[in-house]
């Protein structure tokens, strides 16, 4: 039986968890949430990034690999809060370039990621929530996690820059959402617009019913992948760090 693997991607505070819950409830997809609160290294990381960066990223990577494997094994449609590629191509890469992860740690992490990625089924769609640093800061403040309160704006800006590089070369089909101009928590019309965009993103009509052509809306940009570009080239650009 056909199934879909949807990834909700975005920076810290982009609104991924909210949207993951919404999609899981609307379509009956199994949700896979990022293990943030259960990560034993997170608070230590924000107090001493260089000391805990490698352990933090390996924890996230190992659990992301587990989720990817379970999605493939269970064979049921699923929506995942953040992707395997984001861990490596954005967060770990950023830490390496900032000098918070040593060259040896980065090389070990990168090799582990490359091997895992080669063995796993890629997602059918990446839904990227593009949000400004101002919007990220507002969401971070609203959810009130103490260890996130002091995240510098330039750190979030660097991550946003890496996200733009990543989505430009990501080989999976991609739906980019202007998260600053949408509210999926309070605005039902925004939710309806997103649902119509998703219905048109797939050829597997049996999963949704007859496809509906959505109205033009510059808050949503759908890009189908015609000639895949290996996003691992972003790793290659960072191989010489240190």
List the 220-223 sheet strands across, edge first: 30-32, 78-81, 5-10, 125-130, 174-178, 220-223
Contact in structure between 82 and 16 (CB atoms under 8 Å):
yes
Q: Which of 80, 44, 38 is nearest to 59 (CA)?
A: 38
* Token couple for 210: 């007859």
Of 81, 107, 178, 210, which residue is the catalytic one?
81
How far, in Å, are 122, 141, 159, 168 from residue 117 at the CA level?
Answer: 8, 33, 21, 19
Question: Active site includes 183?
Answer: no
Q: Which of 74, 96, 238, 234 is nearest to 166 (CA)?
A: 234
Q: Could you give the residue numbers annotated as active site?
A: 81
């Amino acid at each position: 039986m056909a199934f879909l693997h949807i990834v909700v991607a975005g920076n810290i505070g982009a609104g991924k968890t909210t949207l993951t819950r919404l999609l899981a409830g609307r379509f009956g997809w199994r949700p896979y949430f990022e293990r943030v609160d259960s990560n034993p290294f997170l608070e230590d990381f924000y107090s001493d990034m260089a000391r805990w960066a490698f352990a933090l990223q390996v924890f996230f990577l190992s659990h992301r690999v587990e989720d990817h494997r379970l999605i493939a094994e269970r064979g049921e449609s699923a929506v995942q809060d953040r992707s395997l590629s984001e861990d490596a191509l954005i967060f770990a890469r950023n830490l390496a370039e900032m000098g918070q992860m040593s060259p040896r740690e980065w090389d070990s992490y990168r090799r582990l990621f490359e091997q895992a990625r080669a063995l796993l089924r890629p997602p059918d769609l990446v839904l990227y929530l593009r949000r400004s640093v101002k919007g990220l800061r507002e969401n971070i403040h609203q959810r009130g996690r103490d260890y996130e309160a002091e995240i510098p704006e330039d750190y979030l800006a660097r991550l946003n820059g890496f996200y733009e590089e990543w989505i430009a070369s990501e080989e999976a089909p991609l739906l980019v959402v202007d998260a600053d101009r949408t509210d999926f928590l309070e605005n039902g019309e925004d939710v309806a617009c997103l649902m119509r965009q998703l219905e048109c993103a797939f050829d597997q009509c049996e999963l949704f019913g007859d496809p509906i052509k959505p109205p033009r809306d510059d808050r949503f940009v759908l890009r189908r992948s015609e000639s895949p570009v290996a996003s691992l080239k972003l790793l290659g650009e960072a191989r010489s760090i240190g």
